Amino acid sequence: MWSPSETPRPEQPTGRQPTVLMTAVKAGRVNQGRVLQALHDLGPLSRADLARLAGVSRATIGSIVQPLLERGLLAEGEPQRGATPGGKPARPLWFAPDSPPLAAVHLVPGWVEAALVSADGRILAAASGRFRVTAPAATVVDCVVDRLNAVLAGSAARALGVGIAVGGIVESTSGTIVACNLMPELSGLPLGPLVSERVDLPVHLDLHPRAQAIGDRWSGPGRGEQSFASIYIGEAIGAGLFLNGAIHCGPAGAGGEIGHTVVDVRGRTCRCGQRGCWETIATRDWLREEAARLRLPAAQAMTTALLAGLSAAGNADAKELFERYAHNLALGVVNLQQILAPGLFILHGDVIAGGEALRGRVERQARSQLPPRSAAEPQITFGSAHDRTTLLGAAGLVLSQSFPLVG
C-alpha cells in the first residue's frame, strides 16, 4: 500500500490512453504525504507504529520519514521505554515546533483573512480586512498582500508557501480566477502569480470548497474518513469532494460547482444564466426573498439562525419555510449521493446556525428521497460555528503540493 511496485505492460493497440506510472520521486512524496496525514489523524507515532499501520517494514518507513526529518518538518520525541521489553526505546515522530510555517488566505466577497499556520494545524497569527465587493482587482490584491505581510512579519522562519482559497471558477494550474459572479472585478485575474511576485513565495490557488474539504480531512469531521463531501452553503453553494482517499479535482481545477446543477428546469433564472440551479432555492438570498414574501420579521436580514428561532417560537410561516429550506438543501445532497455516494456530508456556512433542528431535517429528507440501501444512508454533519476550516485547508494546499495528503 505504501510502497507499491508496478510493472508496465506492453502497449496494446486499444486506442486507450496508456497507464501513467508514478516516478520513484512522486511515489516517495505520496508516501510522505500519507505519513503526515497519519500523524494528523492519530497524533504522534513511532516508526514501528507507522510500519504496523502501513503493513511495511521499519526500514521502509525509515526511508520515507528521513527526508521529512532532514527538512525540519518532523522531529523525534523523547524515547518511550517499556513498549517493547528488551528492545530499542521507540521515539515518537511529530511535527517539529520550529518547522517551516504555512501561509494561508481565505478570500470571499468583501473580506479577506490571512494566517500563518503550523504544520500540525495551529494558527500562529492571523490578520483580516474588508474591501468593497466592487473594488478594482488591484485594490483586492493589495489587501491580500497587506494581510499576508502582516502575518509573515512575525515569523522567524521562512514559510513553505502560500495557499489561497477563493470562490468562483478557478484554474489552479495557473493560479487564475477565471470567473467570479460575486466579485466580477476579479474575473480573469492571475491572483496566484501576482501575490507570489509580491511576497516572494510559491502560491497555490484553489476553489474555496476544495480547500475547505482539505481542512475537513486535515483537522475537521473528515479526519480519518476515506470519502466525504464538504459543502459550503451561504451566499453561494460549492462542494469539495474527498473520494476514495483523495481530493477530487478536474483538469486545471475544474469541478465543485454543485450549486449550478439544475434541480428545477422551470425554476428561477440563476445569476449564471441557467434556470433552476440549486443555488436558486437554497442560498441565503433565496431565504431572504421567501421570508419577505411571507412577511416574516427582519426578512431582509434573515439568516438560518433567525429562521430557526422563529420556527422554534411557533411562527407558522417560519416553520413552513424552515421545512422547505431543509427539503431544498436535501435535494443537492441526494443528487451527490446518487452519483458519487460519498456517504458523509459536512455542511459549512450560514446553514450551520440552524443547529440540530435543521441538520436532522436535512438528513431525514435526504434519506427519504433515496432508494433504501442499508449500507449507504447519507450522514449529515455541520462544521463548527466560526470555524477556520477553509483557512486551514488553504494552508493544507501548500503541504499537499509538496506531499500529497491522501488517505
User: Which stretches of 18-57 are DSSP H helices?
Assistant: 24-42, 47-54
CA dist., res. 226 & res. 202, Å (int): 29
- Using 50, 70 and 90 to split pLDDT, how confident is the model at 25? low
DSSP characters for 158-197?
PPS-EEEEESSEEETTTTEEEE-TTSGGGTTB-HHHHHHH
- Using 50, 70 and 90 to split pLDDT, how confident is the model at 5? very low
- Using 50, 70 and 90 to split pLDDT, how confident is the model at 181? confident
Backbone phi and psi for residue 228, each to the nearest 5 degrees, phi listed first = -170, 165
Percent of the chain at pLDDT > 90 equals 65
Q: Which residues of 346-380 are buried (b: 16+ CB within 10 A; e: fewer)?
A: bbbbbbbbbeeebbebbbebbbebbeeeeeeebeb
CATH top-level class of 24-95 = mainly alpha
The per-residue pLDDT for 13 is: 41
- Residue 154 in grid coordinates: 512575525
pLDDT surpasses 50 at 105: yes
DSSP H or E stretch at residue 348: strand 344-349
Mean pLDDT of the chain: 89
CA dist., res. 106 & res. 167, Å (int): 9
Closest CA to 211 of 350, 399, 388, 396: 396
On whether the 102-214+390-402 domain is CATH 3.40.50.920, my answer is no
Interval 276-299 mean pLDDT: 97
Interval 154-162 mean pLDDT: 91
Q: Where are the domains of the chain?
A: 24-95, 102-214+390-402, 221-382
pLDDT surpasses 50 at 339: yes
Closest CA to 126 of 111, 116, 138: 116
Closest CA to 93 of 121, 72, 117: 72
CA dist., res. 103 & res. 119, Å (int): 10
Question: Poorest-confidence range of 18-22, 279-283, 285-289?
Answer: 18-22
CATH top-level class of 221-382 = alpha beta
Handedness of CA 186, 190, 196, 202 (dihedral sign): positive
Q: Three-state SS across 59-124?
A: HHHHHHHHHHHHCCCEEECCCECCCCCCCCCECCEEECCCCCCEEEEEEECCEEEEEEECCCCCEE
- Residue 206 in grid coordinates: 484553489
Q: Record the pTM.
A: 0.86
Question: Poorest-confidence range of 159-163, 251-255, 357-361?
Answer: 251-255
pLDDT surpasses 50 at 333: yes
The per-residue pLDDT for 341 is: 93
The per-residue pLDDT for 293 is: 97
* Matching fold, domains 102-214+390-402 and 221-382: yes
The per-residue pLDDT for 98 is: 85
With a CB cutoff of 8 Å and minimum separation 6, the contacts of 149 are: 199
